[in-house]
Amino acid sequence: MVLDLTTRDISYSGTFIPTLTSFPEGTRFTMDFTLPSDDLNKFKDIESLKNCAGKMVRYDSHGIAIQFDKECQIEGLKAL
């Protein structure tokens, strides 16, 4: 299944994605993130924004929280 969603929050170790769709806790996701071109210079390791893998760790009425696998943690976001 392919979903085209907009993240509300992204950090070093995960992201929160607003959605009305629920998934079972632990559901695995592979994500590609697209950023506006003026935001690209903020990220030193832009390659890690493609094929990021992680699992859903929480769902609430606003969306889902996904924790990135260790190899997908985004170093460029550590300092933000």
The reported pLDDT for the residue numbered 58 is 93
Residue with tokens 């632990």: 26
Write the DSSP symbol of residue 46: G
The reported pLDDT for the residue numbered 65 is 94
Cα separation, 11 vs 9, in Å, equals 7
The reported pLDDT for the residue numbered 79 is 54
For the whole model, what pTM was predicted? 0.73
pLDDT per residue of the chain (80 residues) written in tens, 0 to 9: 777 777 878 888 889 999 888 889 999 999 887 766 565 566 555 555 778 899 999 999 999 999 999 877 766 666 55
The reported pLDDT for the residue numbered 13 is 86
Cα separation, 39 vs 3, in Å, equals 23
Are 16 and 56 within 8 A, CB to CB?
no
